[in-house]
Chain A
Amino acid sequence: MDDQKRYQRLLERYQNGDLDRRTFLSLLGAATVTAGVVGAPVAGLRRQALAAKPDSVRFDGWGGVVSEAFREYAFEPYEKETGIEVVDGTFGGADEYLARVRSAQPGEFNVAHLSGVFDYVRYHNLGFSTKLDESNIPNLDLTIKALQEPFREVSDGRLSAAPYDYGTTGLAYNRDVISDDEIREKGPNILIDAAYKGKIGGWGEWKTRIWYGALQTGQDPNGIADMDAVWEALRTHRDLALKYWQSGAELMSLLANGEIHVTEGWSGRIAALQEQGHNIGYYDPPGGLGWQECLFVLKGSPMEACEQLLNFMLEPEVAIAVAEGQNYPPALDPNKVELTEKIKNLPAYDPTGKLDGLNFFKPAYWNSHEGDWSKKFGRIQRGY
């Protein structure tokens, strides 16, 4: 209740005869003194609180070279300019991070380097999204529009995240054992080829497994008609596979040590293996899977500070350094920003900036099946 309403009620009671004139004037005088003595300082403090900068902003990402690039090129200049400390944490996977966010208080986690549109929808549906003031992030204009649009569709035209990089999940294979011709001929079906029993790997994540199951059964992954056939393909893959890998490091280790000869893999990780001199091939089959990563601002965060941080992270110098570190092309539009030769040679890089050749998870379709399919995959994974 504001002061004006309080005064009107008091006046009404006086006029109705509930208060005598002496009491009315006494209360009015006391209120005036209180407002005079306390009001101004409190109002000043309130203004100060609203304008106050946070001491720190928390950023969570995948760690490793990416984290080092962020620290060197984005966080340190940001801290120098704003005086706000960036506390950077890491997570092992998007699921694990979401579990942490759900258990935390709003504002405890601020900015996260999340995967794909799928996670954007999950966070939005669980009420963790925000509305970015895009005028505070001028570098957003440098990013590929095709990467922004899926986010806008989810959150009524607004953004809760800035797109940051993209990549593909294609077929990775040991070229000492499997030829380029064979991988092109067999495509995703090489993952259920009994000739490679015990030398096949796979990411233990339900969406990717089902996507490849759909390709193996000749179906559109974003509109599967025969789910039973997909489950059967997943069972076949499970019986032939040596290991479901859980992280990029494990994927690289399995391929580099020769434990497995073929798996689906993340384009950036395979590029890193190739850089290290391993004879590992990479092939995006028709209908292969593309994805993007974003910088998501979580509900309860100091918005202005986070938007400023996003702008720092989207500076071409920073985005290019991070892209070169993690071997994924940045979300920067190549028509607006001159990218380096290394980035132009990365797998999944699209020089047109339109990303027409990539297939993405259709968020509405996959999110609507998340509960049932992730559970069913869990059972198949365990031998059912």
Chain B
Amino acid sequence: MAVSDAHTRDMRPWALLSPALTAITLLLAIPTCFVIVYSFWLRTAAGDEQVGFYLDNWIEVLSDPFYRDILLYTLKIGLITTVCCALMGYPAAYFIAFSKMRNKAFLLLLLMLPFWISYIIRTMSWINILGVSGAVNYVLQSLGIVAEPIQMLYNEATVILGLIHFLLPFMVLNIYVSLEGIDPNLNAAARSLGSTPFQAFREVTLPLSLPGLAAGSLLCFVLGSGTYITPIVLGGPGDGMFANLIYDAIITQLNWPLGSALSIVLLIVLGSVVLLYNRYLSLGQISKGFG
């Protein structure tokens, strides 16, 4: 009887996990296997696939500096975006976490508001803000600060701006949850032992909130490096990222095998970042970011 109960208890986590595992297997693992198989096929002149085991796509992707350079550019954009999000997100999260406001929930609601609007629409909104006929130029011209409208859109800076707009809430939420979990007595103890407010922050609050910062950074980096919408909407001719190459290969060139190889490369690179994070900081921190 006791053995049976133990067996039931052992199986319970699997039973609870089975819907998620089934979904992941059917919707992620198996399709990824298909993509891997596809990457070894070839595109024919007619746009169809030649089934077989060919290394041509992999040799091209791994040996051609074009793909390497775009990948490095993508990682650079992802990194800059992440650093900007961290610098902007930390003060915001700190303010929300330690605010004496009665309706702190209202601040959190404001933070969540952008998620109610489509990411594409949020990205396109910058055209009306920064465009030649946009709000910023209108104000500058109305105040006589500039005579001619300034060209602000369609460059690397606006791509980063669009990504920050998209990713900042993820960063703030993660840091906020981390800060919320810090025992306020620790800060008070540091102050009572003679620390200045800044020393207390540097020695107590900041180290304890680092897991949240790291979790937010991971999410921002992975999501930012995998995007292709923002460069299309806000980028200039040369501002494409690695995901845009995948889009070009699969949609424009109808070269699904090459697009599959590129997809796997991006998956491996971003997956490696996640694994590195897990090795040193543990993925469990991310779940805290969502409360």
Contacts and interface: CB of A to CB of B under 8 A. Distances in A.
Interface string B62-74: 0000100010000
A99 B237 contact: no
A99 B131 contact: no
B244 to A, nearest CB: 8
Interface residues of B: mostly helix, strand, loop or mixed? loop
B131 A259 contact: yes
A238 interface: yes
Contacts of B81: none
B188 to A, nearest CB: 55
B214 to A, nearest CB: 32
Contacts of A243: 153-154, 236-237
A8 B251 CA distance: 55
A99 B132 CA distance: 35
Contact of A246 (B45, B232, B236, B245): B232
Interface string B247-291: 011111111000000000000000000000000000000000000
A95 interface: yes
Which residue of B149, B153, B237, B253 has the most chain A CB atoms within 10 A of its CB atom?
B237
Contact of A370 (B47, B131, B244, B248): B47
A99 B47 CA distance: 11
B254 A95 contact: yes
B253 A375 contact: yes
Contacts of B238: 238, 381-383
Nearest to B253: A374
Contact of B250 (A99, A198, A238, A241): A99
A3 to B, nearest CB: 39
Contacts of B237: 202, 204, 238, 241, 243-244, 381
A262 to B, nearest CB: 15
Given A238-B238, A253-B127, A95 B47 contact: no
Contacts of A125: 46-48
A374 B43 contact: no
A198 B236 CA distance: 10
Contact of B240 (A368, A371, A381): A381
A382 B249 CA distance: 13
B133 interface: yes
Nearest to A206: B252
A99 B251 contact: yes
B75 to A, nearest CB: 15
B114 to A, nearest CB: 23
Nearest to B151: A198
Contact of A242 (B149, B236, B249, B250): B236
B45 A371 contact: yes
Interface string A330-358: 00000000000000000000000000000
Interface string B227-241: 000001000111010
A257 interface: yes
Given A202-B237, A242-B236, 14 more contacts: A93-B251, A96-B251, A102-B254, A125-B48, A126-B47, A241-B236, A246-B232, A258-B133, A368-B45, A371-B47, A371-B253, A374-B252, A374-B253, A375-B253
